[in-house]
Each structure stands twice: as structure tokens, then as C-alpha cells.
Amino acid sequence: MPRILITGANRGLGLGVARILARRGWQVHATCRNPAKAEALAALAKDTGRVTVHALEVTDFPGIERLGRELADAAIDVLLNNAGIMNASQRTFDRGSNAHGLGQFDDDEWMQVLRVNTMAPLKMAEVFVEHVARSDRKVMATISSIMGSIGELNAGRWYPYRTSKTAVNMVMRNLAADLKPRGIAAIAIHPGWVRTEMGGPSAAVSIEDSTSGLAEVIERASFADSGKFLTWQGKEMAW
């Protein structure tokens, strides 16, 4: 059975992908910051018997290393970096707001967004490269965003979030180059604008539609996709 490690799997897209893949027979290592409060994840674990829950704050790099040691014997087919934040002070995207326009954020907040969205996926890749290398599928994927796409940019604002996703796109392209000799694929995926807590109630896509697309992209991912930025519908998008 394939095995996936998903960060931020207690709600939103991470939980949705965990649910679909566990029900399809995947072994799921689901991380979240507070397992005691992750009721939906606990219910999924009980329901399927294929989900193991691990505590992980992704900016706690020694914590990532501890998890790497805990899973030392596991072959991980897919590492899915999903945990992410818009910014420290605003959890939900509001298209009309001037959030994070010029003069609207401070350096500490920007650093925190970069730590979660950009640096943590690279740390996860560093720690789990051997686990992925010994698996059958050998895929590293990060949930990025169209908001990090330079080619698709048609509006301003959101400097911390946009730059964090642009930078993590480069992390994935760079990993694709570095890990090519080991046969490991590295991809970035845009999940659509989705009605999670982050996407907000006006978002265009339901969690069910986005996560069923994401699950399909993940299940089909192969070395031929390495270095690509894909949508949840499996189409290539501009970096």
C-alpha cells in the first residue's frame, strides 16, 4: 500500500486529502499541531484504521527531525507539504481588503509566513529525503498557490503570502533538479480558490472538488511530472 505524509492534516485541504486517500487504501501519516483537538482526524483514524496522527508544528525544525527519526523505518511514497498560512494576523482571504498591501505588514509577520510556507517544506524535504527515496513512487509535493505565480499575477497586495509561495515554487523546482539523480519527483500544486477557513466562504471551489482533484494529481504523480507547477485539475500552470 502506498504511504503519504501530510502536514496540517487536521482541517481544510490536508484533512480532505487524508480522508480520500485513506479510504482508497493509502497509509496516511497525518501531522497536526494539536492532536488532542483534531477530532475529525481521530475519527478518520478510527474509521479507516489507516491513519496515524503525529504532533508537528512545522516551524519547529528539531520537531521535524524527531518525526524523521520516529518514522525511520518507513518508506514514504509521497511527502505532501500542505500546512500554510495567509499571515499571522488574518486567517481568511478577503479579496476586497487591502490586506498586506504596501505598509500593511511588518517584517516579523512576513518572516513567520516564510517560515511556515517556504522554509518548512524545504526542511521536510531535507529530513524525509531518504524515506521518500526508499519508496516506490518517490514524490515530494507542496501545496502552493496561484498567488505565488509571477506569470498569472493580475493584482497586487499580499506581499508576504505571494512571496512565500513564489519562493516555495523555486524550492520545488530546485528540489526537482537536485533530486533528479535519485529518481525523486518534486512538484508544486495550486488547489484552486477553496472554501476552507483560509479561502473563506466566497471561494469558488468546494473542499470536496479540490481535494478529489488533488488526490488524483497525487495518485498519478510520477517522475515525468517533476519540476512542474500543476493545478488541482492536473493542468500545468505558469510559474
Ligand X SMILES: NC(=O)c1ccc[n+]([C@@H]2O[C@H](COP(=O)([O-])OP(=O)(O)OC[C@H]3O[C@@H](n4cnc5c(N)ncnc54)[C@H](OP(=O)(O)O)[C@@H]3O)[C@@H](O)[C@H]2O)c1
Binding interface with ligand X (CB under 6 A): 7-8, 10-14, 32-33, 57-59, 82-85, 91, 116, 143, 145, 191, 193-194, 196-199, 203
User: Closest approach of Cβ 123 to ligand X, in Å?
Assistant: 11
Cell numbers representing residue 74 in the block: 518507513
Q: Which of 74, 35, 70, 69 is nearest to 55 (CA)?
A: 35
CA-based torsion, 127, 66, 1, 36: positive or negative: negative
Nearer to ligand X, 25 or 170 (CB): 170
User: How far apart are CB 178 and ligand X at their closest, in Å?
Assistant: 22
Say how far apart CA 95 and CA 195 lie, in whole Å.
13
Any idea what DSSP says for residue 176? Answer: H
CB nearer ligand X, residue 10 or residue 48:
10
Residue 135 or 142 with smaller CB distance to ligand X: 142
Q: Which is nearer to ligand X, 61 or 223 (CB)?
A: 61
Cβ 214 to ligand X shortest distance, Å: 9
* Minimum distance, C-beta of residue 70 to ligand X, in the bound complex (Å): 16
Query: How would DSSP label each residue in 47-65?
Result: HHS-EEEEE--TT-HHHHH
Query: Helix 159-178 to helix 107-114 angle, to the nearest 10 degrees?
Result: 30
Main-chain dihedrals φ then ψ at residue 50, nearest 5 degrees: -120, 10
Q: Which is nearer to ligand X, 59 or 174 (CB)?
A: 59
Smallest gap from residue 32 Cβ to ligand X (A): 6
- State the cell numbers at 30: 497525518
Q: Is 153 helix (H, G, I), strand (E, B) or coil?
A: coil
